[in-house]
Amino acid sequence: MSARPGRFVLSIDLELGWGYRDTRLDRALQRRIQAARDSLPELLSLLVSRKVRATWATVMALELEGADELFSFDEVPSVRALERGGRSGLSEQVTRLPELYFYDEFVRELRSHPEQEVGAHTLTHLVCDRATSERCATFTAELAACQEIAARSSSKLHSLVFPGNYYSSPYLQIARRAGFTCYRGDRFVSGAEPRGALSRSLGRGGRLLDAYLGPVRSSGVEVSSGLKNIPGDRFLRLEDGGFFGRAHLARVEKELKHAAETSATYHLWFHPHNLGSRENGFERLRAVLDLFAEQASAGRLLSLTMGEVAEESEPSG
């Protein structure tokens, strides 16, 4: 009997303007976000045509029609703060540039593809750094609103990606109570408290070096605070060209093969704005999908969503 195929997981942080919620959007940033928005239909059809099942970790406010509908969630402290004026003129930007903060047609389109998973990236890209009682209450309210928005499409959210990869046990417990089954966490540090952002401890230089030359990565699934961690193994660097782009692709190729040979799970992630100048970004993404297809056609790798990996892994007891 042949070995069990490895698992290839791709998650996409769908956030558009929400990913820059503490930044004043200058013209260049507005163009970058608009380009990301414009690339979404092509990105979806590419994944569908390549039979890649992705998890779209969506800032759920994107699935609303506009600011008025968002402000109707006035039980959510972060939404109330936003309506009162928010930081860096975010409230003003959300109202003035709705196309950068709302794209309900696209999220509905995603939902019409059952092999694609809509996951959550909170309601407003809430950063879960220090687990103060206030922040935890806001997180609880945001996740309830996320599930409510999904329920309007008779759907349920199972997979969560924490903004900035900040998280800790109290947040994981809240997510479990809100009906989530899995999250994209750090790769495991045995015996360590889940704390998120392990990669930050490497520092920028170490992270960059690791993107091209570091040890081969791939992971399994681990349970933490009742949620399954489908760890993100590598951020896909779609903006790198030339020597660095080739070195990164070679690294990803090695890791895909390693996952195939060891029946492991390999989890890549990126943001649509990382497609950058569109032609190059898509070309690099297609190269990665080609590498996956090579393994998949030989029965050595299977594309699954985060939710599906969580479902097939050992029950969390």
Interacting residues with Zn ion (CB under 5 A): 13, 15, 19, 163
How many CB atoms sit inside 10 A of residue 23's CB?
13
| 78-107 CB burial, b ≥16 within 10 A, e <16 | bbeebbeebeeebbebbeebbebbbbbebb
Q: Which among 63, 65, 44, 39 is positioned nearest to 55, based on CA atoms? A: 44
| Residue 195 vs 258, nearer CB to Zn ion | 195
Triad 139, 161, 77: Cα angle to 5°: 20
The 3-class SS string of 167-185 reads CCHHHHHHHHHCCCCEECC
Positive/negative CA dihedral, 185, 191, 193, 196:
negative
| Residue 124 vs 305, nearer CB to Zn ion | 124
| Residue 145 vs 256, nearer CB to Zn ion | 145
| Residue 33 vs 302, nearer CB to Zn ion | 33
| Residue 87 vs 254, nearer CB to Zn ion | 87
| Residue 30 vs 316, nearer CB to Zn ion | 30
CB of 161 to Zn ion, least distance (A): 7
CB of 29 to Zn ion, least distance (A): 15
The 3-class SS string of 68-119 reads HHHHCCCCCHHHHHHHCCCCCCHHHHHHHCHHHCCCHHHHHHHHCCCCCEEE
CB of 99 to Zn ion, least distance (A): 19
How many CB atoms sit inside 10 A of residue 75's CB?
10
Type of residue found at 311? E
Distance (Å, whole) CA 173 – CA 189: 19
| Residue 270 vs 292, nearer CB to Zn ion | 270
| Residue 15 vs 308, nearer CB to Zn ion | 15
CB of 302 to Zn ion, least distance (A): 27
CB of 126 to Zn ion, least distance (A): 10
CB of 164 to Zn ion, least distance (A): 7
Triad 298, 302, 307: Cα angle to 5°: 175
Distance (Å, whole) CA 58 – CA 107: 8
CB of 190 to Zn ion, least distance (A): 27
CB of 108 to Zn ion, least distance (A): 21
CA dihedral 243, 248, 250, 253 (to 10 degrees): -160
